Structure 1
Amino acid sequence: MKKLSLFMLLVLVTTISKAQSDIDALLAAGVEDAERFANDYLAPGTDGLMHSMNANWFNSAKVKPLGGFEISVIVNAASVQDEHKMFDLNVADYNNVSFPDSSPSKSVATVLGENDPAIFIEVEYDDPIFGNQTETIELPTGIGDGTANLLPTAFIQGALGIGGGIEVKARFVPKIETEDVSLSMYGAGLQMEFTEWLPADKLLPVAISGLVAYNHIDGEYNLTDSSGVQGENQRIENATNTWLFQLIASTKMPVINFYGGLGYIKGKSESDLLGTYRVTNGFVTSEDIVDPFSVSSEVSSVRGTIGTKLKLGFFRLNAEYHLSDFNAFSLGVNFGFR
């Protein structure tokens, strides 16, 4: 499995590709069973990604004045807890899946976990010549401790004051393309300082503002050469969209400041297994399975934020921590004017 740990999406699609040698049997057991497993397997990873990509949208409640700007390089990481690493695979929820030892259910790895020792399942399918058949396959494992239990994201962000207590923000990841992977990300935000509109703004020791921000990720992984399944144009496409609504408060000191707030994250991540797949038993080729399934996960979480910012002329450095379903921390290196 390739190690593309800078962006969690690359980790996700790479881990999926590691499991493709078993897609043949999973699809033979039925698209519905394969889809159910994929959804439970991937959801913790995409949920964590949505939390990670929403860190460090702000480093102060005080917005920039008209013409003030800031350029930032930001690195985030969501923390993976034990409950994110495993899920309960109950064979009663599947049509053609069982455990070799007849267990009714077992705790198995998500994309963030690891099966140690390996866990096997039996899948049943109808062969056009040999009739009912059973095949034993190993369940895919996840990244385990391969990324130190962190889901990282990184991007470039800009902020510009447009006057009237309003600041606009944008962030992006330039399109990354390798032989098998493409990834791009962009986002936009609007921050409004409420205290800027008060007559006694200059006398208040703190600033209070609100933020609305949107993030989008597009990713694709080419599976044709790595799936081990006959077919054409095999790929995974992912689209992730999130919204952040945040209330922010911060101090207004000249060098070191502290900020915090309460926010709400809402998002959806959709992954599509696309292309043509021909499931075989080594002798007989089945009918083509085209665009087998789509899976999705959604987050809807309250989060709390605390952070600090150091300002030395044009140079600023900030660090923050978020408490939510996936705790996250972030570091920003910022260069700004006013």
Structure 2
Amino acid sequence: MKRIFTIILTIFAIIANNNLNAQNQNFENVLNGGTADANLYLKEFMNPVAYSIGNGLANGWYNTAKPHKTLGFDLSFNVNLATIPDVAKSFEFLESDYSTLQIDGPATSASLPTFAGGETTTELLINGTTQTIVAPSGIEEQLGDYPGPLAIPTPTIQLGIGIIKNTDLIIRYTPEITAGDFSFQSFGFGVKHDFKQWIPGMKLLPFDLSALAGYNNISTTYQIDETAGQFAEFNASATTVQAIISKKLLFFTPYAGVGVNIVRSNFALNGTYVVEENGETIELTDPLGFDFDGSGGPRFTVGFRLKFLWALALNVDYTIQKYNTLSVGFGINVR
């Protein structure tokens, strides 16, 4: 499973690295306009990445509403793909929001690509007319004929174990994995509890009904220049609270869930960077740092689990939320 994680993360690192290398000079030039404007611009640019990862983290917690018997367990590997909608491939650049960046020309606003967007030829002026740059382009053109919508994969390995009173304790953990200049680690925990048992008369109904609360956190680092102490950090967490219903039909179990997500994430560019500002060479230390918010909200999930060879299980589900998410999981399930 660790090899699968490494392959997935390496693919994403290569994609991101290609894009960042192609736009590295443009990002450095955006910094020339000052850290306040750079933080605002790059927050808009990176929003789809943060939202996709954050929404993906909130998924894959369950494949049935029925908790394990005491000491029953399941060990599963899941990949969650929170698709980036077309509306998130661009953002509206308004000159009035910036103090040193403006559009080269009479226009005072423009639609510019985010990380998930395409190419742009729009030029920006930095500090009036001291410097002109082409706004950073997105990754869409580099992907070419990429099949399907763009999504950032969020893989998880989790262990669920039955404890007492029809309750599961769920643990997610991924030790630090390094792929080139990119590193990743993750931790999370959750609780699933059958609340139907506490409602008089509901025990006789032919379905399972549970409540779930889960928290997941990831930390990623991208090493830019180790000798100069330059690196980027991205951290994200997702808390989800859901009600789940399922019905076992021999080896096939359909399930559905409804609830809410709380997603938080942040990005930081650390180290010392030399830039030109107002014709002078200056050093900036830890120039970028901003939080992403607003990507949580209500969610609805529908899916199924298929058991075979006694203990093996495959599950697939789709969640309608801020960034709609497809989840696919495979694991061992012992009641």
Question: So what's the TM-score if we normalise by structure 1?
Answer: 0.87
The corresponding residue for 1:157 is 158
Compare 196-205 and 271-280 and name the one that shifted more: 196-205
The corresponding residue for 2:8 is 6
The corresponding residue for 1:140 is 136
Gaps of 5+ in 2: 1-5
Pair 1:318-2:315 in alignment: yes
Deviation of 1:255 after TM superposition, in Å, equals 1.5
- Quick one: distance in 2 between partners of 1:217 and 1:24? 27
Deviation of 1:78 after TM superposition, in Å, equals 1.0
Preserved contact between residue 69 and residue 158 of structure 1 (Cα < 8 Å): yes
Preserved contact between residue 9 and residue 49 of structure 1 (Cα < 8 Å): no
The 3-state SS of whatever aligns with 2:140 is: coil
The 3-state SS of whatever aligns with 1:47 is: helix
More helix by share: 2
Pair 1:118-2:115 in alignment: no
Name the aligned partner's letter for residue 136 of structure 1.
T
1:189–1:41 Cα change, 3 Å? same
Cα deviation, 1:5-42, whole Å, max 9, x if unaligned, reads: 83497478634454321233222211111111011111
The corresponding residue for 2:3 is none
Name the aligned partner's letter for residue 8 of structure 2.
L
Deviation of 1:203 after TM superposition, in Å, equals 3.2
Preserved contact between residue 172 and residue 187 of structure 1 (Cα < 8 Å): yes
Counterpart pick for 1:233 among 217, 229, 233: 229
- Quick one: distance in 2 between partners of 1:23 and 1:109? 14
The corresponding residue for 1:268 is 264
Residue correspondence of structure 1 range 164-183 to structure 2 within 5 A: 164-183=165-184
Q: Percent sequence identity over matched residues?
A: 27
The 3-state SS of whatever aligns with 2:127 is: strand
- Quick one: distance in 2 between partners of 1:105 and 1:285? 28
CA RMSD between the two structures: 2.4
1:242–1:139 Cα change, 3 Å? same
The corresponding residue for 1:223 is 224
Deviation of 1:111 after TM superposition, in Å, equals 1.1
Preserved contact between residue 9 and residue 219 of structure 1 (Cα < 8 Å): no
Cα deviation, 1:187-235, whole Å, max 9, x if unaligned, reads: 111101112445766632111111110111111111227xxxxx92111
**How many residues get paired?**
320
Residue correspondence of structure 1 range 1-338 to structure 2 within 5 A: 6-7=8-9, 10=13, 14=17, 15-16=19-20, 18-115=22-119, 117-124=120-127, 134-144=130-140, 146=143, 148=148, 149-197=150-198, 203-224=204-225, 232-280=228-276, 286-298=281-293, 299-312=295-308, 313-338=310-335
Gaps of 5+ in 1: 126-132, 226-230
- Quick one: distance in 1 between partners of 2:35 and 2:121? 23
1:72–1:153 Cα change, 3 Å? same
Preserved contact between residue 276 and residue 282 of structure 2 (Cα < 8 Å): no
Compare 300-309 and 252-261 and name the one that shifted more: 252-261
The 3-state SS of whatever aligns with 1:239 is: strand
Question: So what's the TM-score if we normalise by structure 2?
Answer: 0.88
- Quick one: distance in 2 between partners of 1:252 and 1:266? 30
- Quick one: distance in 1 between partners of 2:45 and 2:321? 21
Name the aligned partner's letter for residue 86 of structure 1.
S
1:18–1:271 Cα change, 3 Å? farther
Deviation of 1:143 after TM superposition, in Å, equals 2.1
